[in-house]
Amino acid sequence: MSINDDFKSAFKGALFDSQKWTYEVLPTGCVPIDLAIVAGGFGEGRTGEIFGDWSSGKTLILYQWLIETQKRGGKTFLFESEGGFHSDWFVALGGIFGTGTDADLLVFPKLKSVEDFFAGCDTIIKVIESTGFDAPVAIGWDSLAATGTKLLDKKGLEGSHAARRALLISEGVTRLSAQIEGTRIAVVNTNQTKVQMGAKDYDETHTPGGRAWPYMCSVRLEVQFDGGPAGSKILDEDGEMIGRSIRGVVVKNKLGPPFGKFKFPVYTIAGVKHPIFEGVRTRVGIDCEEALLEWYLGNKKASFGDDNEHRFMKVAGAGYITLNEDVFGKVKKFRKKDWLKTLEAYPMLLDPKGLVAE
């Protein structure tokens, strides 16, 4: 017997083997975000958070993550305390709701207290365990900042609720993290960025709810306007706003190196002429294909020069883009407007993680 076998025997089943720590991930569906996380999405058996500026796409990323879990045959739940869920919008994004099947998103509207959220998670976990459900489970909370406590619901604005809510979240997320560890359940919340009371600098911000949730999270995404509220606007040919450009960073990551950056466009109007892809009409939500192209063009690992035959995309003269012939064989140059056709011709481009040389 080895010394490790002696320790395993002494600790009576404590986890020492590396295989015990493997995990699966639930992608967001937006490749640049999943690549920034490195692992490819939010980890099963873990908690995550999406926070940032107002109207910067936090809820949209959460919905996209829930929808991707549905596509993989998983079960999805949404705890809604902002009163902003609209089933038609969720379905327009590609989600399943109101069909009367097990694939439907189950929504808990009018969530009033953090106690109710953790009690709801506890019930979900018990049902999953009792039924032996073996597909991924995604639980979304929109949002932590908009959820009060039972004391607030009962007594109104009397007393100090910020400290009480922080304490409840600390106790709840500590227990929740232990409950979902080793399961196929992932929990992700959204949160707002707020300016510190009395701060001299506008950059002195925090996320409400205390530090416990950020501390326990495996992945935290911060999203912002790309260029500020005005500079991030996406306009159509008539100058009307049809979307917004968003950027973000993985500020905490236990699934890989932190501080990976991402950028993606959000379109709020469907059916108008796409500003980049000629002959294509916009769809609502995150434009994952456009985001992927921008990632390729802006990522140093993707763009190649004469000194690196393993990288595969670069901007050529007259606005053309060319792929590396050593990777793809003899290929034609293309423009941004032809990107969708290029993806159809070279579907391996949808898996940049398998193409980019480390």
Q: Tens digit of pLDDT for each residue in 264-292? A: 999 999 999 999 999 999 999 999 999 99
Tens digits of residue pLDDT in 193-216: 876 665 555 556 778 788 999 999
pLDDT for the residue 220: 97
Three-state SS string across 187-247, please? EEEEEECEECCCCCCCCCEECCCCCHHHHHCCEEEEEEECCHHHHCEEECCCCCEEEEEEE
Question: What is the average pLDDT score of the chain?
Answer: 87
Residue 194 in tokens: 């707020």
Count of beta carbons in the 10 Å neighbourhood of residue 227: 12
Could you tell me if 355 and 31 are in contact, meaning their C-beta atoms sit under 8 angstroms apart?
no
Question: Is 49:213 a contact under the CB 8 Å cutoff?
Answer: yes
The pLDDT score that the predictor gives to residue 2 is 80
Tell me the pLDDT band of 52, cut-offs 50, 70 and 90.
Answer: very high
Assign 20 a pLDDT band (cuts: 50, 70, 90): low
Kindly report, residue by residue over 76-100, the tens digit of the pLDDT: 999 999 988 999 999 999 999 999 9
**pLDDT, position 241:** 94
Comparing 8-22, 42-56, 68-82, 127-141, the range with the smallest average pLDDT is 8-22
Q: Where are the domains positioned within the chain?
A: 18-226+248-259, 299-358
Rounded-to-integer distance, Cα 226 and Cα 245, Å: 5
- What is the DSSP code (8-state) at residue 155? H
Please report, rounded to a whole number, the percentage of residues in the chain having pLDDT higher than 90: 62
User: Which phi and psi (to 5°) does residue 134 adopt?
Assistant: -115, 20
State the pTM of this model.
0.90
Regarding predicted confidence, which is higher, 204 or 127? Answer: 127
Mean pLDDT across the stretch 150-170?
A: 74
Name the CATH code of domain 18-226+248-259 (choices 3.10.20.30, 3.90.1300.10, 3.40.640.10, 3.40.50.300).
Answer: 3.40.50.300
The full DSSP string for 282-307 is --SEE-HHHHHHHHHHH-TTTB--TT
